[in-house]
Chain A
Amino acid sequence: MEFDFFNNLATGFTAAATFKNIGLALLGCLLGTLIGVLPGIGPIPAIAILLPITFQLDPLGSLVMLAGIYYGAQYGGSTTSVLVNMPGEASSIVTCIDGHQMARQGRAGAALGVAALGSFFAGTVGTIFIAAFGPPLSALAQQFNSPDYFSLMVLGLVTAVVLAHGSVIKAIGVVMVGLLLGLVGTDVNSGITRYTFGISDLWDGIDFLPLVIGMFGVVEIIRNLEQPVMPRIPVSTKIRDLWPSAKDFRESWRAVLRGTGIGSLLGILPGGGVVLASFASYTIEKKVAKDPSRFGKGAIEGVAGPESANNAAAQTSFIPLLTLGLPSNAIMALMMGAMIIQGIEPGAAVMTKRPDLFWGMVASMWIGNLMLLVINLPMIGIWVKLLSVPYRLLYPAVLLFCVIGIYSTNTNFTQLVLTAVFTLFGYILVRFGCEPAPLVLGFILGPLMEENLRRAMVISRGDAMIFFERPISATLLALSVAVIALIVLPQFRKTREQAFQE
């Protein structure tokens, strides 16, 4: 077992640590940060925008670059949170609270430095977690049958809904619409086309890129344009100390350890572990602090803890994807979409059939984290300068990269029409107070759920009791019911509302 552990990691690093792959990780990290640092663009739109450039690489190369993009985008998001107080996504909201206060006191460098170092440590632990728990979990996954997979997806969707922003019932609706959109195209079982309206470009289903770039990238641009011109941030000029001081380290290392532990555990859960992790870490730091009143006024633990938790969870949330083929949140759904485009069907089979790919990817996550530290940290000054480029010069460029990405992946006009349609649709959803992120999850899971439901029903000859008779499936459904029961409980509801308000 122990021998395997190191052996596996060695396999991974041999595959991933080539000159070319490290270069790709580096490039991915830089580009991810570049897009992620743009105000209001969180990791989801940033990854969506950058996805197309990874498509022409070989599978491992593209996964390596994607991991770089992911960590870069997330770090870019933290940078914007700290400097401009504009969280691009739910998990950065917590970073804003104390991070921005630190920036206003001229300690932005310390905040960002601690965030990066904490994230690197957390990422390393997360990688070890995956290496240690990946094989046993995928052995468990071998015992999963269709009914179990179906119930697992139900649990994943339920959790994602509960952790989405805003109204739960609307989030359920958004997930369902995602499921339906995922079914567009040719039914694999009967060969009949569904909801294609005679458009031959839809026979293979709705393409992933127009949907995610339209609903996340372009909608973000429109939303930002609607806001009055952002005031220029005076803090950006006041970064005195780029590195955290010894005192900062002393105050934050415990928070980093706690955050890493919480994040690693919560990240494995199906459904939005990342957001939960950073909120949980912040709450705990506040509880254990000698002087909780410092929080909200620039406490470094309030940055170190959640940022580490965030990154650890981001790392371990790959576990359900890589072992069970189940994306646990919208970003993992994006990763899964990219893998499928590369011809890799995520799941336990990847580990046994393509160990180089699986372990290479695990290793590349760590390399991605390292790149973040060695390349991005010294470059904070450049990212800060980028923040001062007026938005009116930035958004046409971002928009152009979006459409070029879509068009060069699939050179036809329909793709751009689809992008326009999904932009409009995403905009309408946002306007009516529906968070669009859960839709991607439904979109990716739609065909899988149908297939597993169909198989389960064939096995049981149409008897739905099969879902309750199989122990794994029954447990997962019981958990789903428990999660639903949680939101009905008034106490949890209050905490959830508070958490999202802060």
Chain B
Amino acid sequence: MFRVKSAQDFGAAVVFMLIGLAGIYFGKDLTFGTASRMGPGYFPTIISFLILGLGVVIGLRSIAIEGPPIEKLQFRPLFFVIASILVFGILIDRVGLAIAAVTLTLVAGYARRGVNLKETFALGAGLAIFTIVVFVYALGQPLPAWWGR
């Protein structure tokens, strides 16, 4: 049996192999064509195979050569920051920038431990006012400030 000596390389290898395979699989219905008459599938398929090949090479290296471990994952910042982006996307169309901005600030606030609700709420309100004045009124961006447009 083999042992993974470089966790980072191993992870990268898996990512590249998955992308390569996905490129080949989802590109299989595209016409490949010939070199002189390249179809829409020609270049992407070649690139996908190259990515897959690189993934394999990196994978082999990861069990042959020592490398750094993966830093401990922290799900909290990752989760709350991404969630705040999506929540903003859901809210902005329905209730407008004011509420979306405050909500984004609150959700993003939880990306840190020991969030101070009062302070975060005040920050959110301040940012909402600032962005509405600057982006909606001053710059005339296509953003609704409130619901119902």
**Contact bitstring A453-467, B, C-beta under 8 A = 1, else 0:** 110011011111000
Q: Give A218 to B68 CA distance when docked, in angstroms.
A: 24
Q: Is residue B129 contacting chain A, with contact meaning CB distance below 8 A?
A: no
Q: Give A433 to B71 CA distance when docked, in angstroms.
A: 10
Q: Is residue A395 contacting chain B, with contact meaning CB distance below 8 A?
A: yes
Q: Give A152 to B115 CA distance when docked, in angstroms.
A: 51
In the complex, what residues of A have CB within 8 A of residue B105's CB?
396, 400
Q: A75-83, A166-174, A470-478: which one contacts chain B?
A: A166-174
Q: Give A403 to B143 CA distance when docked, in angstroms.
A: 12
Partner of B39, one of A190, A226, A463: A190
Partner of B93, one of A399, A413, A449: A413
* Minimum CB distance partner of B76 in chain A: A225
B70 and A172: CB pair below 8 A? no
Give the interface centre of B44, B84, B112 by most chain A CB atoms within 10 Å. Answer: B44
Q: Is residue B108 contacting chain A, with contact meaning CB distance below 8 A?
A: yes
B141 and A408: CB pair below 8 A? yes
Interface residues on A, range: 35 or more
In the complex, what residues of B have CB within 8 A of residue A413's CB?
89-90, 93
In the complex, what residues of A have CB within 8 A of residue B35's CB?
457, 462-464
**Contact bitstring B7-40, A, C-beta under 8 A = 1, else 0:** 0110110011001000100110011001111111
B89 and A411: CB pair below 8 A? no
Which residues from 190 to 227 on chain A have a C-beta closer than 8 Å to any C-beta of chain B?
190, 192, 194-195, 197, 218, 221-222, 225-226
Given A176-B54, A400-B104, A400-B127; A221-B38 close (CB under 8 Å):
no
Q: Is residue A382 contacting chain B, with contact meaning CB distance below 8 A?
A: no
A192 and B19: CB pair below 8 A? no
B interface list, Cβ under 8 A from A: 8-9, 11-12, 15-16, 19, 23, 26-27, 30-31, 34-44, 47-48, 50-51, 54-55, 57-58, 61, 67-68, 70-71, 73-74, 77-78, 81-82, 84-86, 88-90, 92-93, 97, 101, 104-105, 108-109, 111-112, 120, 123-124, 127, 131, 135, 139, 141-143
Other A-B contacts than A396-B123, A453-B43, 10 sampled, CB-CB below 8 A, are: A56-B139, A176-B51, A180-B44, A190-B40, A195-B23, A395-B108, A403-B89, A404-B135, A416-B86, A433-B68
**Sample of 11 A–B contacts (CB below 8 Å):** A169-B58, A194-B27, A195-B27, A195-B44, A396-B105, A407-B92, A408-B142, A423-B85, A434-B12, A450-B38, A457-B36
